[in-house]
């Protein structure tokens, strides 16, 4: 069912949000309408006009609406075949970059990392690649960013329920997680590999100098122009020969020449 939010309603609500110093221009209109409708239900606003009045009277509601535009739904090893390929590529990149003294430095960015499931999955993949090459010392730095402060706090905490860890192979769960009652906590060596920080991939300057960038299941909510802007920033952030990993329902927009498909099934691209 189409949310009862018209184009005019959306325009008025977006104008008010902008007047409060926020921007939602990057999101697709239909996605924004669904998020607004969800807030209408939560605030018991029968119509979009009622919700607009609620926004005007409650200064904190703009922040709440923006938080609702952050999709914090993730899990460890989401789409397992992708992670098999990622682990192989990490091993290849490590062999390529290993220098004197059999040491290698590798930089990875998990953009829109939600509550940390993805960057910790990346850390596990690095550890597993390292186990195959015990003669190489790998210094892996994983930068995990998200616009949602609460999600970042959960990532730093590193504690997850069964529903988040169910896709982790039993051997890896035993190796990298500790059971604590109803929760699973990430072991300390894994936690030390991941550095969390707030970052808005639309408005903030891109982070720089990466071998891998992961941005999975976010671009599908963005307009085409916003997608292109983000992908072009990622091109700037990647080393030549670096990899971009997108979600299974995402693709690099046409007209972006700095990336070419490496694995179309897994949505992995390489910077040329």
Rounded distance, CA 212 to CA 225, Å?
23
Question: Would you say residue 72 has pLDDT above 80?
Answer: no
Element (H, E) at 105: strand 103-111
Rounded distance, CA 104 to CA 109, Å?
17
Angle at 105 between CA 104 and CA 108, to 5 degrees: 135
Convert the pLDDT of each residue in 28-46 to its tens digit.
888 888 888 888 998 999 9
Centre a 10 Å sphere on the Cβ of residue 4 and count the other Cβ atoms it contains: 13
Q: Is the pTM of the predicted complex or chain greater than 0.85?
A: no
Q: Are 219 and 227 in contact (CB under 8 A)?
A: yes
- CATH of range 80-271; options 1.10.10.10, 3.10.180.10, 3.40.50.150, 3.40.640.10: 3.40.50.150
Convert the pLDDT of each residue in 98-125 to its tens digit.
987 899 999 999 999 999 999 999 999 9
Give the tokens for residue 4.
């009862």
Convert the pLDDT of each residue in 156-207 to its tens digit.
999 999 988 999 999 999 999 999 988 999 999 999 999 999 999 988 999 9
72, burial (CB in 10 Å: exposed 0-12, middle 13-18, buried 19+): middle
């Amino acid at each position: 069912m189409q949310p009862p939010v018209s184009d005019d309603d959306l325009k008025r609500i977006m104008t008010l949000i902008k007047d409060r110093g926020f921007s939602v221009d990057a999101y697709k209109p239909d996605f924004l309408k669904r998020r607004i409708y969800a807030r209408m239900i939560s605030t018991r606003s029968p119509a979009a006009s009622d919700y607009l009045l609620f926004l005007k009277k409650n200064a904190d509601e703009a922040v709440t609406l923006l938080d609702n535009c952050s999709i914090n739904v993730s899990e460890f090893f989401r789409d397992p075949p992708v992670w098999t390929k990622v682990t192989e590529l990490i091993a290849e990149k490590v062999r390529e970059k290993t220098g004197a003294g059999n040491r290698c430095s590798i930089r990875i960015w998990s953009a829109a990392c939600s509550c940390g499931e993805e960057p910790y999955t990346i850390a596990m993949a690095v550890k597993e690649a390292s186990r195959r090459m015990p003669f190489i010392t790998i210094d892996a730095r994983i930068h995990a960013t998200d616009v949602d402060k609460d999600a970042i706090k959960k990532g730093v905490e590193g504690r997850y329920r069964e529903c988040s860890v169910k896709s982790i192979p039993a051997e890896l769960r035993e190796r990298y997680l500790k059971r604590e009652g109803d929760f699973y906590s990430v072991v300390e060596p894994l936690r030390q590999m991941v550095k969390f920080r707030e970052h808005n991939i639309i408005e903030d300057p891109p982070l720089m100098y990466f071998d891998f960038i992961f941005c999975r299941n976010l671009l599908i909510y963005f307009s085409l122009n916003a997608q292109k802007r983000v992908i072009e920033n990622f091109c700037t952030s990647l080393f030549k020969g670096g990899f971009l990993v997108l979600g299974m329902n995402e693709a690099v927009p046409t007209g972006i020449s700095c990336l070419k498909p490496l694995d179309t099934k897994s949505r992995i691209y390489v910077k040329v």
